[in-house]
Structure 1
Amino acid sequence: MLIRQATLADTAELWRVRYAVTENKLTPGRIKDDELHAYLNDYGRGWVVELENGRIAGFAIADNRDGHIWAMFVDPPLHGRGYGRQLHDVMVDWLFAQGHERLDLGTEPDSRAEAFYRRAGWQPTAEGLDAYGDKHFELLKKNWTRHA
């Protein structure tokens, strides 16, 4: 298992993982390759967990413009192996190293993802649900403790 920076060559595997999830589902075609590529190359950075067979087990993408977590997903059959937490911590460390004091994200309410983020120290904001039905969370640098 290897955590490395995501590249454009990972596009097909990122979409495979993204469309496999059972929560926070994405309608195919709502986000196009060019938007994904902009997040990987222009707006921020992405990371993948690559297995020994070359398959991507999960990925995370951060927007460095504003400290927003744009995406973080693990292939459902591989949940519970710590891949999500490893991706999360690498991404959060990188964003805070870029000078952000506050990070934000949105996720489906009452989902496994919401529980994951709460365990990682994220707190809900006062914002209501957004147009996609996502609940918003924030993580402040002063409150960040990396998972041991």
Structure 2
Amino acid sequence: MLLRLATPEDSPELWRVRYAVTENTLTPGRIADTDLHAYLQDYGRGWVIELEPGRIAGFAIGDARDGNIWALFVDPALHGQGHGRRLHDVMVDWLFAQGLTRLNLGTEPDSRAEAFYRRAGWRPTGEGLDAHGDKRFELNREDWNPHA
């Protein structure tokens, strides 16, 4: 198992994992490869956990411009093995190392993802649901404890 930077060549596996999830689902085609590649190369950085060459267990992508967690998904067949937390922690550490003091994300209310983020120290913003029906969360640098 290898934690490494994501590349545009990983796109087929990233989409496979993204469309396999049962919460925070995405309609195929709503986001194009060009958008994905922009987040990997221009706006921020992404990471994957590769189980073997060509087989990705999960991925995370963070936007260094505004601290938005653009994606964090693990293949549902591989939940509960710590892949999500490893991806989360490397992404959060990198985003804070870029000089950001606050990170943000949106996720489906009352989902496994919401519980995951709460355990990792994220707090609701109190803004209600966004335009996509997601609950907004934030994580401040001073509250970040990667060993929690």
For the criterion TM > 0.5, the same-fold answer is yes
1:4 corresponds to which residue? 4
* Shift, 1:53, TM fit: 4.8
1:96 corresponds to which residue? 96
**3-state SS of 1:92 partner:** helix
1:42 corresponds to which residue? 42
**3-state SS of 1:124 partner:** strand
**3-state SS of 1:136 partner:** strand
TM-score if structure 2 supplies the norm length? Answer: 0.98
**Paired residues for 1:73-112 under 5 Å:** 73-112=73-112
**3-state SS of 1:126 partner:** strand
CA distance in 2, matches of 1:55, 1:91: 20
**Paired residues for 1:59-74 under 5 Å:** 59-74=59-74
Instruction: Note the aligned Cα RMSD (angstroms).
Output: 0.9
Identity in percent: 77
TM-score if structure 1 supplies the norm length? Answer: 0.98
Identify unmatched segments of 5+ residues in structure 1.
none
* Paired residues, number: 148
Q: Does 1:142 align with 2:137?
A: no
Per-residue CA deviation, residues 97-144 of structure 1 (Å, 9 max, x unaligned), is: 000000000000000000000000000002111111100000000000
**3-state SS of 2:14 partner:** helix
* Shift, 1:147, TM fit: 2.7
Regions of 4+ moved over 4 Å: none
Matching residue's letter, 1:146: P
CA distance in 1, matches of 2:42, 2:52: 29
1:130 corresponds to which residue? 130
Relative to total residues, which structure has the larger strand share, 1 or 2?
2
Contact 2:13/2:54 (8 A) holds in 1: no
**3-state SS of 1:29 partner:** coil
Identify unmatched segments of 5+ residues in structure 2.
none
Matching residue's letter, 1:134: D
